[in-house]
């Protein structure tokens, strides 16, 4: 090829984004600030809903005191003062929000102790349960999805599809009760049915008592996650670039690892985040079922006792986790999508 011909062949490269606002770091900061701002706005909206919803439930003092309401006017007065019931609702909201922003979760209406003190350990216990579940959930789901996608249409895939569909359809309290019946009461007596903890103890001191709660949560989230991941993997496996990899003689295992998996990372992150966020709320029922000392039992008790400061604090924590998990998922998604990542600096 002559130099002239070669010159003629060279087509202009599309400009890489030159219209930069600044460095990639600056673009990231701007993006993050915007997203954080949105997250704060969302939390603010949640706080309004939580506060006014709990207020709309009725007179907290009457709910707390029950029969005593009519006979002990001095306790009514004390509670009313504690809860600032003499002020208009919006003013109480602002006070509550101000306290919240200063990290003061308020005082329990049931026993007068600071909410933070009452739920601190509980939040840690719940977080531990969710963390253990997540650590097992992610590799299990990816593994099952890979197996099913690799042998698509085979016996393994078909039975996995059937089992996961059946399990995904079961509510977690049903699976929980079935597991208890199977492993601790009716059939075998291997595992404790409820969590019994000594005072001041932590659940990780007794791993055996965590098995059933974790298993119940896993059965609730893994089937759904595995099914979604299987279909995103199959989509990637049917793509032209995977066909080209095969036609280049890339062995099937390498095709899966190098060409399929990286392109399923983003859907994996997004669905995993949704499932994680669900876990944070879904944990309530399962904790209650197994008497696990987490936020679940506390939340149920607080609702029953009309302990509004506790309910509000717990609801806000759950909402915050939900938002943070999704924010992290979005950051990771951008990091793992070349097109989005390179687009950041535009």
Partner 1 sequence: MSQTVTEELRCRVEDLRISLPARGVDVVDHVDLTLKAGEILGLVGESGSGKTTTGTALLGYARTGAAISGGDIEVAGHKVRELGPAQVRAIRGVTIGYVPQDPSSALNPSIRIGAQLRELLDLHDIGTPEERGRRIRQILPEVGLPNDEAFLRRYPHQLSGGQVQRVALAMVFLPRPQVLVLDEPTTGLDVTTQGMVLRTLEELCRRFDVAALYVTHDLSVVATISNRVAVMYAGRLAEIGPVKQIFTNPSHPYTRALLNAIPHLHRPFALTGIPGRTPAPGNRPPGCRFNDRCSFAVPECSAEEPPDVEVSPGHFAACIRTDALPAWDPTDRVVADTDPRRDRKIILTVSDLDIFYGTSHVVHGVNFDLAVQEVVALVGESGSGKTTISRCVGGIHDNWDGTIAVDGEPLATAARKRTADQRRRVQYIFQNPYLSLNPRRTVEQILVRPLELFGVATGKAARERAAQLLEDVQLGESAMSLRTNRLSGGERQRVAIARAIAVEPDILVCDEITSALDVSIQGSITELLNSIKAERHISMLFVTHDLALVRSIADRILVLQNGRLVESGLAADVLDRPQEEYTQKLLANTPTLDRWMDTSH
Task: Establish if 270 lies at the interface with partner 1 (CB under 8 A).
Answer: no
The token pair at 335 is: 């990091």
Q: How many CA atoms lie within 13 A of 34 on its CB side?
A: 8
Q: Which is nearer to partner 1, 206 or 341 (CB)?
A: 341
Enter the tokens of residue 181: 């019946």
Give yes or no for a contact between 122 and 299, defined as CB atoms under 8 angstroms apart: no
Q: What is the signed CA dihedral for 81, 85, 87, 88, rounded to 10 degrees?
A: 170
Helix pair 24-56, 89-101: axis angle to 10 deg: 140
Per-residue burial over 29-67, b = 16 or more CB atoms within 10 Å of its CB, e = otherwise = eeeeeeeeeeeeebbeebbeebbeebbeeeebbebbbee
Closer by beta carbon to partner 1, 266 or else 285 = 266
Instruction: Please pick, from the candidates 1, 4, 155, 187, the single residue that binds partner 1 as defined by CB under 8 A.
Output: 1
Count of CB atoms within 10 A of residue 267's CB?
A: 17
Q: Residues 31, 69, 278, 336: which binds partner 1 (CB under 8 A)? A: 336
Q: Which is nearer to partner 1, 43 or 229 (CB)?
A: 229
Nearest to partner 1 of 255, 279 (CB atom):
255
Least distance to partner 1 from the beta carbon of 236, Å?
10
Among 177, 250, 300, 320, binds partner 1 (CB under 8 A): 250
3-class secondary structure, 114: strand
Tell me the closest approach of the beta carbon of residue 249 to partner 1, in angstroms: 3
Q: How far is the CB of 346 from partner 1 (least distance, A)?
A: 12
CA distance to 73, 294, 330, per residue, from 40 (Å): 41, 26, 16
Assess 23 for contact with partner 1 (CB under 8 A): no
Piece of the chain touching partner 1 by CB under 8 A; list 13-21, 42-50, 102-110, 186-194: 13-21
Please report, as residue ranges, which positions from 209 to 238 form the binding site for partner 1 (by CB under 8 A).
238
39 to 78: interface string for partner 1, x by CB under 8 A:
----------------------------------------
| CB of 8 or CB of 135, closer to partner 1 | 8
Q: Residue 189 phi/psi, 5° resolution?
A: -125, 50
Q: Rounded to 5 degrees, what are φ and ψ at 107?
A: -120, 135
Q: Does 339 bind partner 1 (CB under 8 A)?
A: yes
Residues that bind partner 1 (CB under 8 A): 1, 5-6, 8-11, 13-14, 16, 238-241, 243-251, 254, 258-259, 262-263, 265, 336-339, 342
């Amino acid at each position: 090829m002559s130099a002239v011909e070669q010159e003629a062949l060279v087509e202009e490269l599309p400009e890489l984004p030159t219209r930069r606002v600044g460095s990639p770091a600056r673009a990231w900061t701007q993006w993050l600030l915007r997203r954080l701002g949105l997250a704060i706005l969302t939390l603010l909206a949640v706080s309004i809903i939580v506060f006014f919803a709990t207020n709309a439930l009725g007179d907290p003092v009457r709910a707390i005191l029950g029969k005593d309401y009519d006979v002990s006017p001095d306790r009514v007065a004390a509670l009313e003062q504690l809860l600032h019931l003499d002020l208009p609702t919006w003013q109480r909201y602002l006070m509550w929000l101000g306290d919240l922003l200063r990290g003061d979760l308020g005082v329990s209406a049931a026993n007068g102790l600071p909410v933070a003190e009452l739920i601190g350990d509980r939040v840690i216990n719940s977080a531990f349960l969710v963390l253990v579940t997540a650590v097992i959930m992610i590799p299990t789901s990816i593994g099952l999805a890979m197996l099913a996608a690799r042998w698509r249409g085979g016996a393994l895939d078909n039975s996995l599809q059937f089992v996961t569909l059946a399990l995904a359809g079961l509510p977690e309290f049903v699976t929980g009760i079935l597991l208890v019946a199977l492993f601790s009461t009716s059939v075998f007596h291997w595992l404790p049915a409820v969590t019994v903890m000594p005072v001041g103890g932590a659940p990780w001191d007794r791993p055996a008592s965590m098995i059933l709660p974790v298993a119940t949560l896993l059965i609730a989230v893994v089937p759904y996650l595995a099914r979604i991941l299987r279909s995103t993997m199959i989509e990637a496996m049917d793509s032209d670039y995977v066909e080209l990899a095969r036609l280049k003689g890339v062995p099937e295992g390498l095709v899966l690892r190098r060409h399929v998996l990286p392109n399923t990372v983003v859907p994996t992150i997004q669905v995993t985040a949704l499932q994680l966020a669900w876990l944070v709320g879904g944990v309530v029922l399962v904790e209650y079922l197994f008497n696990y000392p987490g936020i679940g039992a506390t939340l149920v008790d607080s609702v029953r006792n009309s302990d509004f400061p506790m309910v509000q604090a717990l609801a806000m924590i759950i909402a915050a986790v939900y938002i943070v998990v999704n924010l992290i998922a979005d950051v990771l998604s951008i990091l793992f999508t070349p097109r989005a990542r390179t687009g950041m600096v535009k």
